[in-house]
């Protein structure tokens, strides 16, 4: 141990300001870099997930539209009342 | 050797491999940096000429060395991506740029804080300082180019060319203290085999240096994985991985099943 007291340690032989400035700035920049890198990682994952959800929704909407059209056409034709139960929706749900 | 390396050109393999490395890098960086910095701050002897201000050395020199070695690594990655069209090395180069820029900034700031008490000035247009400042601008240019294009391949090409042209700056930084008679002192550590400093100062330096190396590896791995995910976001394995990573527990590092 090179220092006898805490105030001695903080003073750094008169160079306290410069030494602590260096260590402080280094710590700050590195913490910022780690936090930024981490949050970019989560942001990308969230972005991909959001797009996936949107795609799923669009696909489901398309399937529903198809079903409604089928029903409408079935009613309009009035020949075949039984509606096909489309199983596609099961495949879509994740 | 090529056969051994070949699978790592697959983004999925690389993604999982770096995911396994990350916890080791975190642990090693935490151990080495806490030991090294406490040693450097409290236990290493003061310099007979520079007194306690010498403790800035333990940050300044590793930061400056890594600012150059990260640039070198980035240049190698850029070269591989330009010559062999390896998309992953583009992702690696893009992951390294902000880390290198941060360490260049740290080297410049700690250098200024060391220069003020020792030389009497925060900044001087000396060869070493100026060339290191140019290195910072090169990093910023490479980062800007990576973000300037929507098409990542095009961005990688442009940034890669700038990286390779800018690598001429590395020998200039390295030898600036020998070629020009400047205010900046000559090399203290890099004389291989026989460092011109006492063991009491060399050991804390070495431990800090390794600690920074592990910290850098950790950050580059995170950034590299982010790049892989965003560049392969339409691939089924990414979709699956993102889905399974976020549904049970939302953690920061996706991918570990």
Q: Give me the count of residues in chain A.
A: 94
Bridge partner residues of B51 (DSSP): B47
Chain A and chain B share a number of CB contacts under 8 A equal to 114
Over residues A7-38, the pLDDT tens digits come to 888 878 888 889 999 999 999 999 999 999 99
Over residues B119-144, the pLDDT tens digits come to 888 888 888 899 999 999 999 999 99
In chain A, residues with a C-beta closer than 8 Å to the C-beta of B238 are 48
Over residues B152-187, the pLDDT tens digits come to 889 999 999 999 999 999 999 888 887 877 778 777
* Percent of chain B at pLDDT exceeding 70: 90
> What ipTM did this prediction achieve?
0.86
Residue-wise DSSP of A39-93: HHHHHHHHHHHHHHHHHHHHHHHHHHHHHHHHHHHHHHHTS--SPP---HHHHH-
A94: helix, coil or strand?
coil
Residue B257: band (very low, low, confident or very high) from pLDDT cuts 50, 70, 90: very low
Residue B196: band (very low, low, confident or very high) from pLDDT cuts 50, 70, 90: low
Over residues B213-242, the pLDDT tens digits come to 999 999 999 999 999 999 988 888 888 888
Name the residue of chain B whose CA is nearest to A5's CA.
B42
Cα gap B172→A77, rounded to integer Å? 83
- Token digits of residue B100: 């290198």
Buried b (16+ CB within 10 A) or exposed e, A14-51: ebbebbbbbbebbeebbeebbeebbebbbebbeebbee
Residue B200: band (very low, low, confident or very high) from pLDDT cuts 50, 70, 90: confident
B233/A13 touch (CB, cutoff 8 Å), yes or no: no
Task: Tell me: pLDDT of A93 over 80.
Answer: no
Q: Is A3 on the interface with B (CB under 8 A)?
A: yes
Residue partners of A46: CB distance under 8 A and separation at least 6: B246
What does the pLDDT read at residue B256?
A: 45
A7: helix, coil or strand?
helix
CA dihedral B215, B220, B221, B225 (to 10 degrees): 150
Residue B250: band (very low, low, confident or very high) from pLDDT cuts 50, 70, 90: very low
What does the pLDDT read at residue A10?
A: 82
Q: Which of A15, A30, A37 sits opposite B223 (nearest CB)?
A: A37
Residue B167's alpha-carbon distances to A50, B161, B170, in angstroms, are 40, 10, 5
CB atoms within 10 A of CB B23: 12
Q: Indicate the pTM of the whole model.
A: 0.84
Q: Which of A13, A21, A37 sits opposite B52 (nearest CB)?
A: A13
What does the pLDDT read at residue B214?
A: 96
């Amino acid at each position: 141990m090179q220092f006898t007291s805490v105030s001695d340690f903080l003073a750094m032989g008169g160079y306290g300001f410069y030494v602590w400035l260096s260590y402080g700035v280094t710590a700050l920049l590195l913490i910022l870099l780690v936090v930024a890198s981490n949050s970019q990682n989560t942001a990308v994952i969230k972005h991909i997930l959001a797009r996936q959800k949107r795609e799923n929704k669009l696909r489901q909407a398309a399937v529903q539209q198809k079903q409604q059209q089928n029903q409408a056409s079935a009613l309009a034709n009035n020949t075949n009342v039984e509606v096909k139960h489309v199983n596609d929706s099961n495949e879509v749900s994740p | 050797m090529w056969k051994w390396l070949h699978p790592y050109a697959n983004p999925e393999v690389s993604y999982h491999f770096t995911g396994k490395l990350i916890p080791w890098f975190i642990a090693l960086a935490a151990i080495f940096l806490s030991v090294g910095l406490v040693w450097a701050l409290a236990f290493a002897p003061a310099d007979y000429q520079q007194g306690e201000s010498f403790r800035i050395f333990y940050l300044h020199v590793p930061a400056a060395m890594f600012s150059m070695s990260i640039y070198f690594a980035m240049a190698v990655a850029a070269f591989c991506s330009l010559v062999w069209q390896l998309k992953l090395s583009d992702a690696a180069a893009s992951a390294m740029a902000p880390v290198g820029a941060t360490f260049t900034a740290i080297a410049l700031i700690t250098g200024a804080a060391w220069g003020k008490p020792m030389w009497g000035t925060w900044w001087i247009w000396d060869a070493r300082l100026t060339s290191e400042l140019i290195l910072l601008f090169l990093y910023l240019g490479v980062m800007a180019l990576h973000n300037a294009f929507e098409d990542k391949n095009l961005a990688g090409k442009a940034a890669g060319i700038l990286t390779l042209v800018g690598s001429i700056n590395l020998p200039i930084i390295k030898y600036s203290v020998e070629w020009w008679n400047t205010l900046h002192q000559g090399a203290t550590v890099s004389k291989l085999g026989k460092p011109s400093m006492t063991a009491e100062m060399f050991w804390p330096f070495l431990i800090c240096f390794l600690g920074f190396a592990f910290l850098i590896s950790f950050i580059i791995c995170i950034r590299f994985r982010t790049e892989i995910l965003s560049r392969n976001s339409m691939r089924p394995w990414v979709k699956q991985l993102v889905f399974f990573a976020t549904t049970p527990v939302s953690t920061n590092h996706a991918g570990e099943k």
